[in-house]
Amino acid sequence: MAPEDKPSLFTGVAAFAGAPSMTSSIVYSSTLLKMSIHSFVAQRFHPRYVDMIPPFYSRGMVTTSGPRFNTAAAISTESDVDTRVPTTVITGFLGSGKTTLLNHILTSQHGRRIAVIENEFGEVDIDGSLVASHSSVSEDILMVNNGCLCCTVRGDLVKMLLKLAKEKRDKFDHIVIETTGLAKPAPVIETFCTDELVSRYVKLDGVVTLVDCKHAMRHLNEVKPRFVVNEAVEQVAYADRIILNKTDLVSEAELEALRKRIKHINGMAQTKEATFGAVDIDFVLGVGGYDLDRIESEVQLDESHGASHHHEAGHEHHRGHHHDHKHDSAVSSVSIVSEETLDLDEVDDWLERLVEEKGENLYRLKGVLSVSGSDKRYVVQGVHSILDSCPGKAWGPEEKRINKLVFIGRNLDEVSLRKGFKGCLV
């Protein structure tokens, strides 16, 4: 249970702007720049700062010995009310429509005040006028320019999140982080799961992945050198919500092939098809992707996608970065659906052993299980080596007690997973 504290490495820039006037801004930075939202937006992270980026942060969360999500620490002991700020991570390959979705979120009438953490690599502009036009809604916008999230996220993101959550909490209801198109989402997710301070104030609401229907298949299938990560695949694998964007640019046949490919990688995420990121805001905000009490609605499995096939893919890291974090990205989902009853101790032992041994390759797991001796569902979730589980809602008197368990990961051994599951049956 003991949470890990991550050191802070990043030297980045964050600005906080009050949208109603679009003039006020507070900048957090090693260089302490002060600017309006418009000027800030124009100053996306510049490639020349790449050299300043610290080396890749190794996977700190794969610490085994039963680490758990830091949810307990986050909930006020006095009121038992979870007051942490929900945070949505928007990811997706270059040009897939992340900024378009962000602007859709910022310009929709949903009543939430949004703080935005923007992570751009290069000088891609956000449509400032679009953001400004939303000034009628009292929405606060925070912009963070930093380096490549996959390399530097921990320290700086931690700092930014804490500063926001501690000092500006009354100014917004939700944080949205837009990652660079080439970032791997894992380090961001790990930050929420393992950093004690972050998880006390902020909670990960969900990972939303934009997929460019026109170009995604090429990126997903790109054959790379062995052990080289394919960010496009990883972004799909970690998603709680997937938006198949730019459907206007593809035929129905192309779309169907992509649907299948995406489902194969991630059989857990809910997907929606869209143009210009136009989805219901409730599809992307308030997802509760990491809330145990909402796992059940998230585990909507389609058994036809349970089979595991591996696609070798991967590619070099991006734009002048030189790191040693190269992975094989044979990523897929394995789903288990069964009406049999499980022994709780066996389940706990099995899953703990599994994440200890395979945690590095196990991106996500979610399950709703029927255990003997309990009239309640047993819900589990995991991110790499971090497991979380607790009793959930009671089964209805007439309800079929169906176990649903889904794994997303690299080089998953489906036979062994099914065998492990069977070994837990009473």
* Least distance CB 348 / ligand GTP (angstroms): 40
* Least distance CB 118 / ligand GTP (angstroms): 9
CB atoms within 10 A of CB 229: 24
Nearer to ligand GTP, 144 or 417 (CB): 144
Applying CB under 6 A, which of residues 20, 54, 66, 95 lies at the interface with ligand GTP?
95
Contact 109/135 with Cβ under 8 angstroms?
Answer: no
Q: Total residues contacting ligand GTP (rule CB under 6 A)? A: 18
Applying CB under 6 A, which of residues 104, 219, 241, 246 lies at the interface with ligand GTP?
246
User: By rule CB under 6 A, what string of x and - marks binding of each residue 205-244 to ligand GTP?
Assistant: -----x----------------------------------
User: By rule CB under 6 A, what string of x and - marks binding of each residue 150-189 to ligand GTP?
Assistant: -------------------------------x--------
Helix 344-358, helix 414-422: angle, nearest 10: 150
Note whether 107 binds ligand GTP by CB under 6 A: no
* Least distance CB 378 / ligand GTP (angstroms): 38
Dihedral-angle region of residue 253 (phi above 0 means left; psi in -120 to 50 means alpha; beta otherwise): alpha
* Least distance CB 380 / ligand GTP (angstroms): 33
Nearer to ligand GTP, 53 or 61 (CB): 53
Q: What is the C-alpha to C-alpha distance for residues 261 and 196, in angstroms, rounded to an integer?
A: 36
Q: What is the C-alpha to C-alpha distance for residues 349 and 66, in angstroms, rounded to an integer?
A: 10
Note whether 92 binds ligand GTP by CB under 6 A: yes
Applying CB under 6 A, which of residues 33, 50, 124, 255 lies at the interface with ligand GTP?
124
- Return the range that interacts with ligand GTP (CB under 6 A); candidates 73-81, 96-104, 199-207, 395-403: 96-104
Instruction: Give, as ranges, the residues between 272 and 291 that touch ligand GTP (CB under 6 A).
Output: 275-277
Note whether 125 binds ligand GTP by CB under 6 A: no
The residue ranges that bind ligand GTP (CB under 6 A) are 92, 94-100, 124, 181, 210, 245-246, 248-249, 275-277
